Structure 1
Amino acid sequence: MSVQLLLLASLPALGWGLMPIVAKLMGGKSEEQLLGTTIAALIFGSVFGFLNQVSYALVPFSISLLSGVFWACGQYFQFLALEKAEVSKVMPVSVGTQLLFVTLASGFFLKEWTDLTTVIFSIMALGVILTGVFLVTKTTHQQTGLTPQVLLYLCCSSAFLMLYVTVTGLFQISGAQIFMPQAVGMFLGGSVISLKSKQQLHFRKIIRNLGTGSTWVIANTSLFAVSSSLGVGVTYSFSQMSLLVATYGSIILLKEQKVGREKQFVALGSLLYMVGVLGMSWLK
């Protein structure tokens, strides 16, 4: 693997890992963050479709649009969780539950579990991943962990993001046909969600969150570009390292504190998470 390809393969993890950090830095309500992100996605999707002269059929277009709506719902709940808790606590649970839901949905509905051995090793890998997530978010001081409300937000987020990921696979839609209609669905979903708070939204904060959307665009584009060269398994492994970027990035950039043995828990949890993800990608 060349250095250039290795750097490109790291961009999805970097983009998705930095996205919640950038959202915190840009500020604003969840609706403002969501609109800023979806506007950036819509601009990219439109330019991509125009430059590549992509042709669209009704069913793939509709399913990809629905996928984008699911993403908007899932991302909104994640932004709500980030309003109420630290990135280093929210993102490990968010990514871990996404992996759990997507793996189970892929196994049962997309028929990726072809034999008993795959089922057993997938469940083992999930167990290692979730143990890593538990350690990364473990607290040892007076400050409490995630509240039931935040956990509910994250479960709703991961359920919608699971639908976002799997619905196109269920209808075997892939490649360039997805980008533009998916971005339209993201924008439409974000706009409908934001209607209830439209009187309280600030245009300047929405524009600031175009930066949040840019990290998503970088991640999504590079994932598409590198998967054709490295294959889905390797690309998947690299992209799921977004948890490490979000966790350590929030500690460094947002000054989120880890005290005492929490630093050791984060290091051990990160290692277990990496082992579990690499095992999961090997099965794929």
Structure 2
Amino acid sequence: MNVTDWLIAFIPALSFGLVPVVGTFIGGKPVQQTMGISIGAFVFALIVVLIRKPELNTHIFLISFISGILWAIGSIGQFKGITYLGVARATPIMNGGQIIGTSLVGIALGDWASSQAKIYGFLALILIIIGIIFTSYQEKSGEENIQWKKGILINLIGVLGFTFYVGIIKYFKIDGWSSILPQSIGQIVATFLFGWLIFKTKTLTKVSLKNGIVGIIWACGNLALLISQSKLGLATAYPIGQAAVIVSVFGGVYINKEQKTTKEWKYSLSGIIIICLGLFMIYQAGNN
């Protein structure tokens, strides 16, 4: 494992951290934001494929297409979960659930083979989840309409979608360069159908097209994630990407002009330090 592999693994943290910040800035309904990301991902993938000319066959197309559908389930579940529980409650459930899910899938597929790597890895997961909970802390302000049952259920569905969208690519050993175009087609088709059949919402609107820039940002991180999980393992690469919450904290304050109280800043900064400790443990797990 060289330095380049680790640098690539940190690209999703920056990219995925900017996605909710820029998406919130642009606005739109959950399905429209998801469609915008999907369109941007398709444009990015088309350019990459024309330049790189990766291998594409029926097997790669089908598995990657299914991966795109799973991602759409995860993305819509994430946005809907926030509407039921609020950001402070939904974020730890989604991020923590994804970390646990992808790590277990990665271990089942051979990551963290040694006992020492597993010890470092599980310590890292605990630290990162605790850090995410801290960074997501918000003081109560007035009455809150929390729908726990719906929120937890939709978040868990989202967690499964996000877990298996990368897990299926690793299981079938599909190259990241080859998967991104059919994956983006799966994202668009699934989002359109979900919007039409389930949410009864127009998915292709002006705000969807504006969110295309979010899709290009996401696609850069997605490609880096697919490449790094093949180099470092899914159990290592995916938790590193969850450091995105650090970018989201500062992006929310300085771009979206969100306000934080002194107490919230103390929790956020403590959480960032804990996440950094977790990332160090991830590094140790990857080198044992």
Both structures adopt the same fold (TM-score exceeding 0.5): yes
Distance apart, 1:169 and its partner CA = 0.8
Alignment: residue pair count: 277
Deviation per CA, 1:26-57, whole angstroms, max 9, x where unpaired?
A: 11111111111111112222232233233323
Q: Which amino acid is the alignment partner of residue 112 of structure 1?
A: D
Write the letter of the residue equivalent to 2:103: T
SS in 2 for 1:261: helix
For the Cα contact (< 8 Å) 1:89–1:146, is it kept in 2?
no
Structure 1: runs of 5+ lacking an equivalent: none
- Alpha-carbon contact 1:240-1:277 (below 8 Å) kept: no
AA of the residue aligned to 2:206? R
Farther off after superposition, 81-90 or 11-20: 81-90
CA RMSD of superposed structures (Å): 3.1
- The CA distance in 2 between the partners of 1:53 and 1:140, in whole Å, is 50
Do the aligned residues in 2 keep the contact of 1:60 with 1:178 (CA within 8 Å)? yes
SS at match of 1:54: coil
Alignment of 1:153-168 (within 5 A): 153-168=154-169
Partner of 1:180: 181
Task: State the SS of the aligned residue for 1:183.
Answer: helix
Judged with a 3 Å threshold, the aligned counterparts in structure 2 of structure 1 residues 82 and 142 are, in CA distance, closer, same or farther, namely: closer
Is the CA contact 2:252–2:258 (under 8 Å) kept in the aligned structure 1?
yes
Which AA in structure 2 matches 1:189?
A
Residue 122 of structure 2 is matched in structure 1 by: 123
Q: Cα distance 1:8–1:62, how it changes in 2: closer, same or farther (>3 A)?
A: closer
The 3 A distance-change label for structure 1 pair 106 and 9 is: closer
The amino acid of 1:215's aligned partner reads I
Q: Deviations over 1:73-115 (max 9, x none)?
A: 10111122344566566445432321111112211x2122424
Residue 65, structure 1, aligned to residue 65, structure 2: yes
**In structure 2, do the counterparts of structure 1 residues 6 and 115 end up closer, same or farther at CA, with 3 Å as the change threshold?**
closer
**Equivalent in the alignment of 1:240:** 242
Q: Distance in 1 between matches of 2:98 and 2:282?
A: 13
CA contact (8 A) 1:86 1:256 kept: no
Which residue does the alignment assign to 1:33? 33
Paired with 2:110 and 2:41, the residues of 1 have a C-alpha distance of 30
Amino acid of the residue matched to residue 208 of structure 1? Answer: K
Per the alignment, residue 267 of structure 1 pairs with 269
Q: Distance in 2 between matches of 1:8 and 1:115?
A: 24
Tell whether the 8 Å contact from 2:88 to 2:136 is kept in structure 1 after alignment.
yes
**1:251 Cα deviation after fit:** 2.4
Q: Quick one: distance in 1 between partners of 2:172 and 2:25? A: 37
Question: Is 1:53 paired with 2:53?
Answer: yes
Question: What is the TM-score of this pair, normalised by structure 1?
Answer: 0.83
For 2:285, the equivalent position in structure 1 comes to 283
Distance in 2 between the 1:201 and 1:62 partners? Answer: 24
SS in 1 for 2:54: coil
Contact 1:88 1:137 in 2 (8 A): yes
Bigger Cα displacement from structure 2, 70-79 vs 252-261? 252-261
Rounded Cα–Cα distance in structure 2 between residues aligned with 1:8 and 1:47: 20
Residue 16 of structure 2 is matched in structure 1 by 16
Q: Percent of aligned pairs with the same residue?
A: 24
